Structure 1
């Protein structure tokens, strides 16, 4: 099957799209993993805070003397949190421990602690951070049935998008899978153009092949003369001429013939489907315009009586006479 340009573009686009979809799926999976892992990290931070900042505690609790049915363990946890709030009102200690645990999972993840107590809300970070962060866990501690005295502890995390992508080995693998074939194709095309350019400029005696229009910028059409078919530019030494309008068609036709010769009919048919009785007149005016344009480069357009015209370059112009 021949791979046309359209087919190649479609194949590479589909290939890149599938790769990007896989990257997005992997991105969401990684994000979910971090969020789920954050729950355990928060529990570990709470326990470590107790181990580090509560050295000794003596508790005597009898449920029968309690004014409510809330369990002793829950009341103890409430007391721990009330103690930490009294000692560290913005919960920097807990936030630092939580961040330490999270950095074991993803070093780019930032954390924050929020809590409510006595009907008021507090955060370890500013509101701007809280708005963009994700709430991953929330615990409520009670000592009685008065909701105002409840302590609600919240854990927030924020991982930048670039970190979710760059801190995942699969992202690099997928990008490599996408970019390596494209890079190989680009290198292949470049080498092909370079080899083609060398082949065109080699002295193999086949002048017609040398003058075929390729994607190479400069093609040597005669010794010292170079033609850029993409930009319709003719160069000799440091002088360049840009051809326009009818001159482009005629000049291309001239250099496509091995002997640089065009008959009156050849020139006329460039612009008319059938030969006209005014072919010579038409050819004369068209050639005159081209001659004026390329004369600065030492190229002459010589009239061959009764036949047509021939391009004569400066290196061989002495062999021809204008008629």
Structure 2
């Protein structure tokens, strides 16, 4: 099957889409892993706070003071948190411990903690942060069935999307996989262009004429066997081409615009916006000479007609 340019582009688009989907899946997996790790980090922070800031525990349990079925361990945990709120209403210790635990997992992840108790709600970060952060864990501590007395601890994290992408070796591997094919194609295409531009056709004298390949070339037959591409100023005869430049283009276009391929001195002088004079004739002579040398390889000559002007003669050598 021949791979045309549209087919190659379509195939690469499909290839790139698949790679981007894999990157997105990898991004989501990384985010889920950080979120799950944050749950453990918050639990560790709560336990460390107890170990560091509660030095002695004295528990006295009386059945008559516990009329409900809530376990004693849960009530003890509630009392620990009530103690911490009384001593540190902003929960700076817990906030700092959670941040340290989280940075062991990902140092670019931002954290915050929050709690509610007796109708009071507090967050360690402002509402702008909380609104974009993810609530990863929530613990409820009870001493009775009065919801107002419940203590609820919350853990929030926020990891910028660019961190999840750039701080991941798999992202770079996948981007490389996506870019390698198009990079190889560009290198291969440029190499072919350079090879085509460096090619030429050897004439009978062994001279090398550089050629250019144009996709939009439009050839016009100006004489039997002779073709002219006005867009690229290229003259062709058989397998030989010449690319005109400078004043040669102006003069040649003027010649082929005449039915008999004849230009008077006055016609030539108009190309330079000067009146006819000896200086103009002398300049025209040198310019005509330049054109003659350029197109001689195509068996074309510019013949001087004394006192009148110049004429293009095709197949000049064949006429000799």
TM-score, length of structure 1 as denominator length: 0.69
Aligned to 1:72: 72
Task: Measure the CA separation in 2 of the matches of 1:259 and 1:35.
Answer: 70
Do 2:143 and 2:150's aligned partners in 1 also have CA atoms closer than 8 Å? Answer: yes
Say which SS state the counterpart of residue 104 (structure 1) adopts. helix
Would the alpha carbon gap of residues 281 and 192 (structure 1) be closer, same or farther in structure 2, given more than 3 Å must change?
Answer: closer
Any residues of structure 2 matched to 1:224-263 within 5 Å, and which? 249-250=229-230, 252=232, 254-257=234-237, 258=240
Would the alpha carbon gap of residues 16 and 200 (structure 1) be closer, same or farther in structure 2, given more than 3 Å must change?
Answer: farther
Would the alpha carbon gap of residues 312 and 131 (structure 1) be closer, same or farther in structure 2, given more than 3 Å must change?
Answer: same
- RMSD of the alignment, in Å? 3.9
Unaligned regions of 5+ residues in structure 2, if any? 218-227, 244-256, 273-282, 305-309, 312-320
Would the alpha carbon gap of residues 3 and 151 (structure 1) be closer, same or farther in structure 2, given more than 3 Å must change?
Answer: same
Deviations 1:20-53 (A, max 9, x none): 0110111111111111221111111111111111
Query: How many angstroms does 1:106 deviate by?
Result: 1.8
User: Aligned pair 1:124/2:124, yes or no?
Assistant: yes
Would the alpha carbon gap of residues 127 and 10 (structure 1) be closer, same or farther in structure 2, given more than 3 Å must change?
Answer: same
Aligned to 1:305: none
Do 1:140 and 1:153's aligned partners in 2 also have CA atoms closer than 8 Å? Answer: yes
Aligned to 1:19: 19
Do 1:63 and 1:71's aligned partners in 2 also have CA atoms closer than 8 Å? Answer: no
Aligned to 2:40: 40
Aligned to 2:53: 53
Do 1:133 and 1:157's aligned partners in 2 also have CA atoms closer than 8 Å? Answer: yes
Aligned to 2:133: 133
Query: How many angstroms does 1:292 deviate by?
Result: 3.8
Query: How many angstroms does 1:165 deviate by?
Result: 1.1
Do 1:140 and 1:152's aligned partners in 2 also have CA atoms closer than 8 Å? Answer: yes
Q: What is the total number of aligned residue pairs between the two structures?
A: 264
Would the alpha carbon gap of residues 299 and 108 (structure 1) be closer, same or farther in structure 2, given more than 3 Å must change?
Answer: farther
Aligned to 2:142: 142
Task: Measure the CA separation in 2 of the matches of 1:299 and 1:58.
Answer: 116
Say which SS state the counterpart of residue 312 (structure 1) adopts. helix
Say which SS state the counterpart of residue 2 (structure 1) adopts. coil
Query: How many angstroms does 1:167 deviate by?
Result: 2.0
Say which SS state the counterpart of residue 105 (structure 2) adopts. coil
Task: Measure the CA separation in 2 of the matches of 1:134 and 1:173.
Answer: 28
Do 1:115 and 1:154's aligned partners in 2 also have CA atoms closer than 8 Å? Answer: yes
Say which SS state the counterpart of residue 172 (structure 1) adopts. helix
Unaligned regions of 5+ residues in structure 1, if any? 216-228, 231-247, 262-278, 303-309
Aligned to 1:312: 292
